[in-house]
A and B are shown apart, each in its own frame.
Chain A
């Protein structure tokens, strides 16, 4: 005889959308689509004995309910147990010690803002991660000097995006990655398709060549299942904070300090304003607190805690809380417009 209670593993969290739901598996980094009726059984009747659940539905759906739950057991989302009280839920509070967790600095060939000045300020705030986007094709020397800036700094991750140039060889870039272990990823954009190397020619995992043209900040803000992130950090942060902008600071290609380089509002120029002062401003932190639960349409979407938000390009520029403009998903119909899938 089967045990009395069904329990979801605490890392498998049901999220209700308008027309269907997901179970987000924060441990195995995946999700499962489920019907809303199953969401109801898992949440409203959580902790109730199987027999009680059957009775709630007047014993009309005993077999269906059992089949659903057996499916979840088979997929290892949950288990039957005699002691559900021993398995508390996951606390979904997001914890992070850093006042700024992520910095984004943009450059094009006309940029004048000096990186060392920026890095020094971020270092004082113990910012652990930085992303540098070169919309143009910088020389090897520029890339080297850039990475040199991070020697003896507390940054744990440096990511770079740079434009393609035939003068940058795979060998040179590989050597660069070996010399600077902080470099976690290097993406070379605008690569002519005939020059994209076979993956077997690249010996390190963090070097990628892509055809896509990332020559301005407008390349950002895309919403697609490709960018879904299903893990504990992301999911807990998205409960109360903006999944793109929280504790982020950006310096755009002209040196203006912003939440995101694609946004128009700025909080001063890097030459005259200190990053630490900007980070403390309530006006600057406002965007950090726009969670998906506040965004129209997104709040009804079953993907809202695994999807990156975008506040720079919104569907209705008159409404700061409207959904990301580049999202093609309709949670009311549970359909994707074909264009962005792939």
Chain B
């Protein structure tokens, strides 16, 4: 199969996975039957009040906002510290994003509540900080992985710094940057379940409620959906990574 053919095939595969997942979360009766089979003693095995589809949508909103913010801030930040103007801040930024990931998100949530109140706000701040590290460090690694001789050749031909960044460094670093985004998003989908603790909702809701009321069917329902969502997102981002890889670099 040609390189183009392989690209389309993997994109089609990932899209099929997305459709299958969407269909599965919409099958409320199916989940009821499955969960009653696993937990025969439970009177109400399915998380009540909200459909699974709504929980997934809510979860995606939390992840989308926080990861979007992570990319919006993380990629430019990573690029900036590789520029002469930001080079002095490189160590500081590296330490800060490292700290952002080592600091437990649940603690960030707790600390944010007095400032931002309950709900979406503290969740997004905590997840944003938590996901920054892989994006920033991969952006730096990707840009610095571009051979200096290429940049030298580009300068020698009269390309300006901005043009070199946009037409040479970023395209060549795209694959590595996307790998960082992918890691960040997949981690985020799992970690976002914690956000339910401050009332942000999402797939963490049935998990936390399940723990509180000792109904492990709820826990299983939320955890299964979150895990499947992570798998689907991972394959979708893997395809994106591949599509962003310049043809000339494909093996």
**Do A and B come together as binding partners?**
no
